[in-house]
Amino acid sequence: MGRLVMKFGGTSVANIDRIRNVARHVKREVDAGHDVAVVVSAMAGKTNELVEWCRDASPMHDAREYDAVVASGEQVTSGLLAIVLQGMGIQARSWQGWQIAIKTSDAHASARILEIDGTEIINRFGDRKEVAVIAGFQGINPQTNRITTLGRGGSDTSAVAIAAAIRADRCDIYTDVDGVYTTDPRVVPKARRLDKIAFEDMLELASLGAKVLQVRSVELGMVHNMPVFVRSSFDKPEDIDPHGTPPGTLICSEEEIMESHVVTGIAFSKDEAQISLRQIEDKPGVAAAIFGPLADANINVDMIVQNVSEDGKTTDLTFTVPASDYNRARDTITSSKGKIGYARLDSATDVSKVSVIGSGMRSHAGVAAKAFKALSERNINIRAITTSEIKFSVLIDAAYTELAVRTLHTLYGLDQT
């Protein structure tokens, strides 16, 4: 007998039939004697529809009212699932973020969780054997008493945070895939599902393009050492042993993984844009003049490469930003040209970032060098490189993305055998 949090994404609750399927998954765990809290997303496509309604109402809408609107999708799903569970003879009730309460910052549309009191949910486990069906993605700011939302994919973050608050044994993230793969199987058919992956590796995969989990949910799991299981909601509920190891991928601490591979996976992102500033005067304060205004505009800068000219007087500086921020970044730099003092601005939006991730890199030399050689043999030009202790990323022309991913996946022995 344990305590579980089960999270179901939008495709898993897309209609009433799928909500009934979710209810059967929940019933399986309840019948096995587990205390269960369920976190649900809005039905597939509903959040996008609500966002569009806000934009149609006013392009410059109030972020507080935006949150009030878009949070309603999860409210509908939680109520419907509670109704279905009750119809199956299971004690259940729906909870909105403000009822628990999930206390957050006041950064509407991208709030961060500050505190969750899980006492009432735990008490109801003991007193009523009641399943808590919780609307994900939302909370409340205690200073303003306004509904807040956690950003796209925020239901994952809600689930892991609630699991920590109620001291769950595990947080199961049910989705439309059956686990975490070494790379996108649509790009590399030989990609294989990982049985286990360390929090650090998953954090890098999530932040570098893998869309299985929201980055903040992985961060929370690592901070609270909360095991997270990624599994498919489309597996037949009656075919799964609730007392056995579920099919999927366990995200856990590195100590729980017996043998760490040098490379765990390959991530890629086509949502990249490159900006190069030519012939900048090489003097103190120039970098601050470039990246300060970008930070003030909340534009995240990723890869940075600087080259100094032969005479040492000028430098070229290249960096990348998300493609969605490209126009704002270019305009921000252009408006600061007087302070920066560059001769020319070059840019490209037809680029992609390919990243190689693995905790095993800490103890192995030459991992990146192998990749550079393999890419050169495929005539793939590298525009920029960044490295850290457990990953490296290369910026390449977007047309070569899939070739690069397949090449590196095979190079590091990640293909299925």
pLDDT for the residue numbered 284: 82
Two tokens at 68? Answer: 């009030």
Q: Is there a single domain that holds both residue 92 and residue 200?
A: yes
pLDDT for the residue numbered 112: 94
Q: What residues form the annotated binding site for ATP?
A: 7-10, 175-176, 181, 186, 211-212
Tens-digit pLDDT profile for residues 151-192: 888 999 999 999 999 999 999 999 888 899 999 998 999 999
pLDDT for the residue numbered 309: 66
pLDDT for the residue numbered 311: 66
Asked if residue 261 belongs to a domain, the reply is no
Asked if residue 139 belongs to a domain, the reply is yes
Q: Is there a single domain that holds both residue 232 and residue 297?
A: no
Domain end call among 205, 224, 255: 255
Tens-digit pLDDT profile for residues 77-135: 999 999 999 999 999 999 999 999 999 999 999 999 999 999 999 999 999 999 999 99
- Amino acid letter, residue 182: T
Tell me: pLDDT of 223 over 70: yes
Question: Long-range pairs for 14-22 at CB < 8 Å and ≥24 separation?
Answer: 14/43, 14/44, 14/45, 15/43, 16/80, 16/84, 18/233, 19/77, 19/80, 19/81, 19/84, 20/84, 21/233, 21/234, 21/237, 22/81, 22/174, 22/233
Q: Is there a single domain that holds both residue 230 and residue 273?
A: no
pLDDT for the residue numbered 1: 66
3-class DSSP assignment, residue 170: strand
Q: Is there a single domain that holds both residue 250 and residue 270?
A: no
Q: Is there a single domain that holds both residue 75 and residue 190?
A: yes
The mean of the pLDDT values for the chain is 91
Tell me: pLDDT of 417 over 60: no
Largest Cα separation within the chain, whole Å, is 79
- CATH number for the domain including 398? 3.30.2130.10
Tell me: pLDDT of 397 over 60: yes
Strand pairing of 131-135 and 304-308? unpaired
- CATH number for the domain including 125? 3.40.1160.10
3-class DSSP assignment, residue 96: coil
Asked if residue 59 belongs to a domain, the reply is yes
Domain end call among 205, 221, 255: 255
Query: How many domains does the chain divide into?
Result: 2
Q: What residues form the annotated binding site for substrate?
A: 47, 74
Asked if residue 417 belongs to a domain, the reply is no
pLDDT for the residue numbered 202: 93
Q: Is there a single domain that holds both residue 381 and residue 319?
A: yes
For residue 113, give the nearest of 88, 76, 95, 138 by alpha carbon. Answer: 138
Q: Report how far residue 206's alpha carbon sits from residue 157's, in angstroms, rounded to the nearest whole number.
A: 13
What domain range is 187 assigned to?
3-255
Place of tokens 């089960």: 6
Q: Is there a single domain that holds both residue 8 and residue 108?
A: yes
Q: Is there a single domain that holds both residue 21 and residue 156?
A: yes
pLDDT for the residue numbered 17: 97
Tell me: pLDDT of 321 over 70: yes
Asked if residue 44 belongs to a domain, the reply is yes
Domain end call among 255, 289, 306: 255
Higher pLDDT, 334 or 238: 334
Q: Is there a single domain that holds both residue 371 and residue 238?
A: no
Residues 6+ apart with CB under 8 A from 66: 51, 54, 108, 109
pLDDT for the residue numbered 259: 65
Q: What residues form the annotated binding site?
A: 7-10, 47, 74, 175-176, 181, 186, 211-212
Asked if residue 205 belongs to a domain, the reply is yes
Two tokens at 346? Answer: 């070059």
Q: Report how far residue 337's alpha carbon sits from residue 242's, in angstroms, rounded to the nearest whole number.
A: 62
CA atoms within 13 A on the CB side of 387: 9
Q: Is there a single domain that holds both residue 215 and residue 336?
A: no
User: How would you label 275-293 residue by residue, b for 16+ Cβ within 10 Å and e otherwise?
Assistant: bbbeebebeeebeebbbeb
Asked if residue 120 belongs to a domain, the reply is yes
Q: Is there a single domain that holds both residue 243 and residue 272?
A: no
pLDDT for the residue numbered 124: 95
DSSP readout, 232-278? ETTS-GGGS-TTSPPSSEEEE-GGG-SS--S--EEEEEEEEEEEEEE
Two tokens at 410? Answer: 């095979």
Q: Is there a single domain that holds both residue 80 and residue 99?
A: yes
Asked if residue 326 belongs to a domain, the reply is yes
Strand partners, 385: 394
Q: Report how far residue 230's alpha carbon sits from residue 195's, in angstroms, rounded to the nearest whole number.
A: 10
Tell me: pLDDT of 365 over 90: no
